[in-house]
C-alpha cells in the first residue's frame, strides 16, 4: 500500500479527522457567504429626520453599524433588515469606515458616521441600535450575528423599542 492513500473500507483515524477539520476551519468556508455583491440599506443624512419619520409611524429607528466586506453584516442586512424594511421598518445603516459623508447627529450638529459610531461606543460589527425620535436608545443593542436565534433576539428588541416609542408619542 502506498503512503498517503487509505483503502475505502478503513476508517479515518482521529489525527486525520482533526487535520481535516482544522483545514476546513482555517479556510473560513463557513464565514464567507457566496454573495457576489453586498446588499445595501440607505445611509441617513440626518439622524433626527429619519428618527422622526420612524416615530410618526410608531416605529423606532433601526440602525445597523456595519463594516464594508463584513460577511456577518451582510447576513444581518440581507436576511433580517432588508425584509424588515419591506415590512415598514425604518432600517438604515452607518459604516464604521465612512468619514467622508456628512451626517447630522441627534444633537443637530454636523458630524460623520465614523465620529458618531465612536461617540456611541459601538465597537463591533454588526451592531443594531434602536432609537426613539429624540435619539435615545430604547432597546438593548444587538451585537454580532448568531444565526441560531438572531430573528428572535431582533423581534424581542424591536418589540421593546416599539413600546418605548409608542409611549412617548
Q: Is residue 5 part of a domain?
A: no
Omega of the bond prior to 8 within 30 degrees of 0, cis?
no
Asked, as a colleague might, if the bond just before 126 is cis with ω within 30 of 0, I would say yes
Cell of 98: 465612512
Q: Mind listing the pLDDT tens digit for each residue in 85-101? A: 888 888 999 999 888 88
pTM for the model stands at 0.76
If one counts the domains in the chain, the total is 1
Residues 97-106, buried b or exposed e (16+ Cβ, 10 A)? ebeeeebbbb
Does residue 24 surpass a pLDDT of 90?
no
pLDDT tens digits, residue range 28-60?
A: 444 444 445 678 899 999 999 999 999 999 999
Note down the domain range covering 156: 47-168
The DSSP symbol for 130 reads E
For residues 80 and 154, is the Cβ–Cβ distance under 8 A?
yes
67: CATH = 3.40.30.10
User: Which set of grid coordinates corresponds to residue 42?
Assistant: 440607505
Amino acid at each position: 500500500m502506498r503512503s498517503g492513500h487509505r483503502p475505502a473500507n478503513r476508517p479515518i483515524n482521529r489525527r486525520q479527522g482533526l487535520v481535516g477539520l482544522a483545514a476546513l476551519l482555517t479556510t473560513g468556508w463557513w464565514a464567507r457567504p457566496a454573495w457576489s455583491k453586498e446588499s445595501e440599506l440607505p445611509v441617513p443624512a440626518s439622524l433626527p429626520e429619519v428618527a422622526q419619520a420612524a416615530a410618526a409611524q410608531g416605529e423606532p429607528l433601526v440602525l445597523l453599524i456595519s463594516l464594508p466586506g463584513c460577511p456577518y453584516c451582510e447576513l444581518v442586512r440581507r436576511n433580517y433588515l432588508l425584509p424588515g424594511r419591506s415590512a415598514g421598518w425604518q432600517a438604515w445603516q452607518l459604516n464604521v469606515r465612512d468619514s467622508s459623508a456628512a451626517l447630522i447627529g441627534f444633537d443637530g450638529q454636523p458630524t460623520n458616521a465614523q465620529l458618531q459610531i465612536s461617540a456611541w461606543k459601538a465597537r463591533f460589527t454588526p451592531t443594531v441600535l434602536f432609537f426613539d425620535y429624540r435619539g435615545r436608545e430604547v432597546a438593548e443593542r444587538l451585537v454580532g450575528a448568531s444565526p441560531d436565534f438572531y430573528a428572535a433576539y431582533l423581534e424581542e428588541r424591536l418589540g421593546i423599542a416599539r413600546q418605548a416609542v409608542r409611549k412617548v408619542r
